């Protein structure tokens, strides 16, 4: 009898604990979100504002009041953020004290196409729309559209990843036959690059030429520099 009574007491105790846990869990979920906070990686919010992200986080409602944790669909909100034209990646989560957090990485433009159709080329080689909030300082690109932009991507990417080239190259012009010409900062000669083959070799040759011509104080004596042959730099003097 005593053993049966002990089992009953244990059962009742477990039942009470389960009830209290379930009640607390339900109450926890039903609590509203106390705070929304957005953090941009690299501390940049250039192309999309915190206000825009907040609106997506709260599922297009005017405020977080009235939205409880159980109602909020984190996967859906994260998906909304990742579909935004200016966002590369977003992670959304809730803290234990009821705060909604979002870690947002913005897309990074590496070139800007100007003309009848204007847009950015991002660091992954994809078309990125211009932002109403910020204009990136990247090489200007003439003669491009969404159909042919992918062919020049290896060149633009190499420029972006090289400090010397980023500092000196300000523009890329597309010529017939998917050949390219580069414009330089503060110099009146253009660089004929040719097609997008042997990118690293051509740029290494150009950097070697530039530094030698600068040392010899001859940069102003050229009107054209040709890199298309890959293994050499052919220069035309004024």
Question: pLDDT, tens digit, for every residue of 38-85?
Answer: 888 877 778 888 888 887 776 544 344 444 455 467 788 788 889 999
Contact (Cβ atoms closer than 8 angstroms) between residue 120 and residue 113: yes
Per-position b or e across 82-108, b if 16+ CB within 10 A of its CB: eebebbbebebeeeeeeebebebebbb
Give 123's contacts (C-beta < 8 A, 6+ positions apart): 107, 108, 109, 110, 157, 160
**pLDDT score recorded for residue 116:** 86
Angle at 43 between CA 161 and CA 52, to 5 degrees: 110
Note whether 90 and 104 are within 8 A (CB): yes
Q: What is the pLDDT of residue 58?
A: 66
What's residue 77's pLDDT? Answer: 79
> Which portions of the chain are predicted below pLDDT 70?
1-34, 58-72
Q: What pTM does this model have?
A: 0.78
The two structure tokens encoding residue 24: 């607390």
Domains of the chain: 32-106 (3.10.20.310), 109-237 (3.40.50)
Residue with tokens 């939205």: 67
Give pLDDT, residue 156. 98
């Amino acid at each position: 009898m005593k053993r049966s009574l002990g089992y009953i007491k244990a059962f009742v105790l477990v039942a009470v604990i389960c009830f209290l846990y379930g009640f607390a869990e339900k109450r926890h979920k039903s609590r509203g979100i106390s705070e929304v906070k957005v953090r941009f990686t690299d501390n940049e919010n250039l192309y999309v504002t915190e206000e825009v992200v907040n609106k997506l986080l709260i599922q297009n409602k005017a405020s977080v009041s009235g939205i409880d944790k159980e109602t909020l669909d984190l996967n859906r909100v994260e998906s909304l953020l990742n579909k935004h034209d200016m966002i590369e990646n977003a992670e959304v989560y809730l803290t234990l004290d009821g705060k909604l957090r979002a870690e947002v990485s913005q897309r990074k433009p590496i070139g800007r196409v100007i003309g009848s159709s204007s847009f950015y080329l991002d660091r992954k080689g994809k078309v990125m729309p211009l932002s109403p909030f910020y204009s990136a300082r990247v090489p200007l690109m003439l003669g491009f559209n969404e159909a042919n932009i992918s062919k020049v991507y290896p060149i633009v990417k190499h420029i972006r990843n090289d400090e010397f080239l980023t500092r000196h190259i300000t523009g890329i012009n597309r010529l017939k036959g998917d050949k390219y010409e580069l414009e330089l900062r503060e110099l009146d000669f253009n660089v004929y690059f040719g097609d997008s083959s042997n990118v690293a070799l051509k740029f290494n040759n150009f950097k070697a030429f530039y530094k030698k011509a600068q040392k010899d104080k001859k940069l102003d004596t050229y009107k054209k520099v040709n890199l298309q042959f890959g293994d050499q730099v052919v220069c035309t003097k004024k």
